[in-house]
Structure 1
């Protein structure tokens, strides 16, 4: 049974989350190509060579989708703006793109939904990717320009603003592991991206403050790093991965430094005078978004290059993504953030959810159980003193799941990609019951 709204603190925000490239349809509305379009067009990068060209056609069906958010009983909708839609070449304004987000935010207001804006959710304009993308320091300042244009247009109507979604995915997953656009496997590229994505956040926060924008934050993703054994080398392997995945971003933002365990491998490849950027990166925030899905188990791999670790399969039940279901990790990160970094700062769970091999007419009990377990973990964190203000399920809709194409389904609402028919799943109905105010 999913815990009821009444079992959370008064005013706790419940929402659903999406991302522009995953649902809008990049071929509509004058959007320019992003590096995800070109990554998907390269054989072998994305399952079935799927792209976000049509996705869920949210560009045209946004009103229907907002109706689903409202009907479920959610208070808020977390969405992102597409840089490639607003600035097709990364620089020049596309009025049609800004008009779309105008309509979208007005549509939320008309339904009593609170807009939680994320400025960047991974769709870098291809023209900027041509110039080095997140390896190039100049991209950070172009992101600042994009930030200003979006906020001048819709900033008066949004509840909160997040600069970046999941910088680990933007930098490490995409430039070191090569799993996401631009698909690089290069430690120098990764180190520069790891720093520049945080610098872009700092530039954006500075511009937002200058415009008088309120309620500013960033969305970080966290992955619980468990050692494969209690041997010293496996304990170190988990600590190194924790430093790369979790501590690099939180420590830079809240403590003004990078962890030594990560600098062991990355320091030789960071841009010159990177230390001088840390004050800009570490500007005061109004809240932090926490994305959490799973844990991974790490063992030492001494015969490989740094970080010299390898993943070990875990014993717990897994989602369609192969990720272990481990709600304890969410409680652990929320309490750890409160203790070590945020110290009373408002936190939101900005993404949590699971992929399943869903069809429109099958029971959805596994997802219901997943939500119940993670809601309980959130409640445990609140009871432990964490200033948790809200919880956003990922995702409202089945959508384009990046390198997995359309095969993996995270949605509360089933999408038939041939007809674009939306069908609420049993988990949507279960949440509707749990969020009912009577």
Structure 2
């Protein structure tokens, strides 16, 4: 049976379990947050309490006039101990899917959004030879339960990110801290190697990449064994590499070959490929050119280039030959007026791409909420809605940008 691609454009927002749920006690990231030294600025803790307040999140999605919600189904919740499947967790995701459908929202699920069970990390994570089989079992478990009601399945979130970070995107002190964190976790767990998918040491990037590719292929096969009609793929972090000089062109193309080349082959046979774009990287003779005076920048000081989205989508579509879903796109900023301008400048060119016949199936904004952003904790802000953690209410408040996004969706005919 051939996968049934969505017959309408998916307008949505994305979240990830560890970043919004709270109380994710069995996850590797929680364990890594607790060691000393840790690469994480602080623990996720309660995050946004979406495990309890998922219905509120769905109401926000509906209130913005969106027709889809991408969320992750957390393996660490479902199998907190090896061989011990938590039926209550499966019931939780079952209710979420039904809650989506009751509101006219198509659920899009991510089967692994970085976090994994701590027991799995203690076995070497994705470096373990048996990892693909273990992940395939988890995929079958999930798809057996909710696969009949979801719009698409993403196996992995940004499995190319370790390679991108290894290509000079992390300062040396961050690399050293990641190594110290992994070593501390290995010692605390009392195992040979405690390994994560998003805290990586440079000499293991190639091995991890190979592990991700093997596990992705096993996951696709597992999904199709249960739900052959369900579109399945993975999402890639895609920086819009550009250049100003001939030497810069060589550097940009070399980075593209290194970061995306292995995945062009790995996704062959998939139903779609997810593109996650946040920025453009412009290369000169000596490498990436920093933001110039007067350019608008995000919270980390990176210059914003709204055209990076369509450039990234075009590049990955032509590289892979597959339909594209924009599974993440957004901007980290506390200046919501900047987010509003960024949305207005970024999305219309994407729609023109669709009208020109490029098979883009949907757009998911990152993120629905100001959430836990990994090593930066709560210090960067991607949300269309704020979350009141300061007073302990965790109440959600839509920002002006949520209204801007709603209006773009309402006024766009594809």
Distance 1:381 1:91 in 2: 46
Q: Alignment partner for residue 32 of structure 2, among 32, 36, 39?
A: 39
- Asked if the contact 1:171–1:193 (Cα under 8 Å) also holds between the matched residues in 2, the reply is no
- Give the Å deviation of 1:339: 3.0
- Give the Å deviation of 1:43: 4.2
Distance 1:231 1:212 in 2: 48
Q: Alignment partner for residue 341 of structure 1, among 320, 331, 334?
A: 320
Distance 2:140 2:163 in 1: 23
Is 1:405 the counterpart of 2:377 in the alignment?
yes
Q: Secondary structure at the match of 1:143?
A: helix
Per the alignment, do residues 380 and 397 of structure 1 end up closer, same or farther by CA in structure 2, a change over 3 Å counting? same
Aligned residue number for residue 304 of structure 2? 325
**Equivalence map 1:80-91=2 (5 Å):** 80-91=72-83
Is 1:422 the counterpart of 2:401 in the alignment?
no
Deviation readout 1:336-364 (Å, 9 max, x if unpaired):
3333321xx43211110011125xxxxx2
Per the alignment, do residues 135 and 313 of structure 1 end up closer, same or farther by CA in structure 2, a change over 3 Å counting? same
- Give the Å deviation of 1:312: 3.7
Q: Alignment partner for residue 216 of structure 2, among 184, 201, 219?
A: 201
The RMSD of aligned alpha carbons is: 2.4
- Give the Å deviation of 1:385: 2.8
Aligned residue number for residue 239 of structure 1? 253
Structure 2: where are the runs of 5+ without partners?
Answer: 1-6, 179-195
Aligned residue number for residue 218 of structure 1? 234
Aligned residue number for residue 275 of structure 2? 290
Deviation readout 1:228-268 (Å, 9 max, x if unpaired):
x5243x333222211222232124323xxxxxxxxxxxxxx
Give me the TM-score of the superposition, normalised by structure 1: 0.80
Aligned residue number for residue 101 of structure 1? 93
Per the alignment, do residues 175 and 100 of structure 1 end up closer, same or farther by CA in structure 2, a change over 3 Å counting? farther
- Structure 1, 135-144 or 315-324: larger mean CA deviation: 315-324
Per the alignment, do residues 299 and 39 of structure 1 end up closer, same or farther by CA in structure 2, a change over 3 Å counting? farther
Q: Alignment partner for residue 15 of structure 2, among 18, 22, 45?
A: 18
- Asked if the contact 1:143–1:204 (Cα under 8 Å) also holds between the matched residues in 2, the reply is yes
**Equivalence map 1:39-438=2 (5 Å):** 39-43=32-36, 45-46=38-39, 49-169=41-161, 173=165, 178=175, 181=196, 183-187=199-203, 189-213=204-228, 214-227=230-243, 229-232=244-247, 234-254=248-268, 284-298=269-283, 311-315=288-292, 316-342=295-321, 345-357=322-334, 364-418=336-390, 419-436=393-410
- Give the Å deviation of 1:87: 0.9
Per the alignment, do residues 170 and 60 of structure 1 end up closer, same or farther by CA in structure 2, a change over 3 Å counting? farther
- Asked if the contact 2:158–2:235 (Cα under 8 Å) also holds between the matched residues in 1, the reply is yes
Q: Secondary structure at the match of 2:148?
A: helix
Deviation readout 1:258-288 (Å, 9 max, x if unpaired):
xxxxxxxxxxxxxxxxxxxxxxxxxx12222
Deviation readout 1:285-307 (Å, 9 max, x if unpaired):
22221111112234677xxxxxx
- Give the Å deviation of 1:170: 5.5
Distance 1:333 1:318 in 2: 19
- Asked if the contact 2:238–2:277 (Cα under 8 Å) also holds between the matched residues in 1, the reply is yes
Aligned residue number for residue 306 of structure 1? none
- Give the Å deviation of 1:100: 1.2
Deviation readout 1:193-225 (Å, 9 max, x if unpaired):
111111111001111111134211211121122
Q: Secondary structure at the match of 1:321?
A: coil
Distance 1:91 1:197 in 2: 22
- Asked if the contact 2:11–2:364 (Cα under 8 Å) also holds between the matched residues in 1, the reply is yes
- Structure 1, 194-203 or 349-358: larger mean CA deviation: 349-358
Distance 1:58 1:422 in 2: 10
Deviation readout 1:361-382 (Å, 9 max, x if unpaired):
xxx2211111111102302322
Distance 1:231 1:197 in 2: 34
Give me the TM-score of the superposition, normalised by structure 2: 0.84
